[in-house]
Amino acid sequence: MTRRFPSLFATGAILFFLWAPLVQLGARAAVLGAQNPSLWHESLFFSASRAVWVGTLELCIGAAMVATILGVPVGFCLARGPKIARVVAAIGCALPLGVPPVIVAAPFVSARGVVDFPLPYAVMTLALSFYPLVALATGAAIASLPRGEEEAALLVSSAPRAWFGVLGRRIWPAIAGGAGAVAALCAWEMGAPDLLGQPSFGMSVYRALNAPQVLAPGEGVARAALSGAPVPLLALLFLLPSLRALRSFSGDTQGSPALVSKFSWFSVGVAGLILGLSPGWILWELLTSLESPAATWNAIAANDDALVNTLLSATFSAAILTFGALFLLISWRQWPAKGRAWALAATLLPGLVAPIVVGVALIEWWNRALFAPLYDSSLGMVVIGHAARFFPLALALLWAPVARLNPDLGFAAQNLGASPLRVLFSTEIPQLKPALAATFAVVWALCAGELSVTVLVHGPGGDTLPLPIFNLLHAGLAADVAALCLLLMALCGAAMGLAFVVVRKWR
């Protein structure tokens, strides 16, 4: 028990950080809801929310299906395409993650039929934004196939039959997990569905927070929390396949080298068409919206503080979250299996809460005299917002790689007299370098493009690039929006490309 005390203390501190703001907000909302029952009218249990509930389900399921169709060929290209195709696909997957979906939705606003039939346009918008999650999950599953199994399957049957049959059983859980993650993100999304007129819980929560009705102090926040109550349930429903995907990566295998075949070249061709649609089409729309090079440079120079803030906050947040999740998972290895399962569940569940509700909860919790230096700083609350939203994701991304660590190497080092810290840095972290680089890049891109929480919690002078993009979009300055979006996409693409090169070098 004494050896586990530091691990228990660290786990308790992280759970307190994640849960305390949400529990306080939930308790306050329940009390105010009991005093004013009208605050519950937008919750799941009243007919007023049925249209939002149905619209969100349609949006989530439709976007997940389209994202799967787009993501699987790109994932196959990531794992089994030629080297140059893998690099291009990795960078291409990062670019859509760096653009707020509301930007992708903008070209569809004037499309024919969007007023009468907003669902197809909203589905396509979110699928084009989030399909890289399916691609990355599929690529990781294919890359981790045991040595020799792929060659044996391809020898006894054709490539399509092998991939849809024997090998498919190993990668379908990962595909389902990626699709579930896409559906969960769609349940939280607020900007794109609202711009296209599609009902969704994400925008319902934001409208409840900013409702024009005259309410008592605190009732607007309470109504937002109550209207967002269904989102964790819906997200959990969609993320259950992701848990199955994590289990599918638990084998002690390092994967097989890339095998370039005719089927690989076919996947490269299909992936090229998909990447031409997203991010290719997105890039084209942004590039054609630019004005002169001088105007583009002026737009970037006018927001140089936001650029610096984005680089600083995303880098610091990604580093803290990646290594914090690593050390927590390493410390859990001494726990019983049931204890690890409960700790993992307790850490992942706060990540299911709607981002708007997370932002409100953070404001309610951290706006105290005790935390004034942090709350009033430029980027302090931005980093806290990143941590509250993306720490569960970083933990989920590193769960499988840590589970695949070879314990014999650590035992051998300990038998030779190495301390636990030396074992960690000399034998365990070197095995995890590719996973750490990939996790850092994904978390960095998500932090750089985060809008829903940052727009609520950022301090004076703490604007990151998504904030001026969002403000300029509503101001109708398309050229400035395009310039900043291209800059943000370039940063995310550079992060993912660098991570891909590092992963290939260390593997």
Whole-structure pTM value: 0.84
pLDDT of residue 199: 83
Q: Is residue 296 part of a domain?
A: no
What's 200's DSSP letter? -
**Residue 422: C-alpha distances to residues 207, 413, 425 (Å):** 52, 9, 5
pLDDT of residue 116: 79
pLDDT of residue 258: 52
Task: For residue range 350-377, list pLDDT tens digits in order.
Answer: 988 888 889 999 999 999 999 999 999 9
Place of tokens 């300029």: 472
Q: 484 and 449 in contact (C-beta within 8 Å)?
A: no
User: By CB neighbour count within 10 A (0-12 exposed, 13-18 middle, 19+ buried), where does 82 fall?
Assistant: middle
Q: Is 361 helix (H, G, I), strand (E, B) or coil?
A: helix
94 shares its domain with 125? yes
80 shares its domain with 186? yes
Q: Is residue 353 part of a domain?
A: yes
Q: 137 and 178 in contact (C-beta within 8 Å)?
A: yes
The backbone torsions φ and ψ at residue 337, rounded to the nearest 5 degrees and listed phi first, read: -60, -40
Tokens of 154: 């391809």
H helices within 165-281, ranges in order?
A: 168-188, 191-196, 201-209, 219-227, 230-248, 262-275
42 shares its domain with 14? no
221 shares its domain with 156? yes
pLDDT of residue 252: 40
Residue ranges making up the domain that contains 224: 36-284
Residue type, 343: A
What's 225's DSSP letter? H
318 shares its domain with 392? yes
Give the number of other Cβ atoms within 10 Å of residue 45's Cβ: 11
Task: For residue range 382-429, list pLDDT tens digits in order.
Answer: 999 999 999 998 998 888 788 877 776 766 766 666 666 777 777 778
244 shares its domain with 346? no
Task: For residue range 284-329, list pLDDT tens digits in order.
Answer: 888 888 988 999 999 999 999 999 999 999 999 999 999 999 999 9
What's 464's DSSP letter? -
CA atoms of 475 and 37, how far apart (whole Å): 37
pLDDT of residue 244: 59
Domain tally, the chain: 2
Q: Is residue 396 part of a domain?
A: yes
271 shares its domain with 406? no
pLDDT of residue 41: 65
Q: Is residue 289 part of a domain?
A: no
260 shares its domain with 321? no
72 shares its domain with 198? yes
Q: 143 and 255 in contact (C-beta within 8 Å)?
A: yes
476 shares its domain with 441? yes
Which CATH number fits the domain that encloses residue 406? 1.10.3720.10
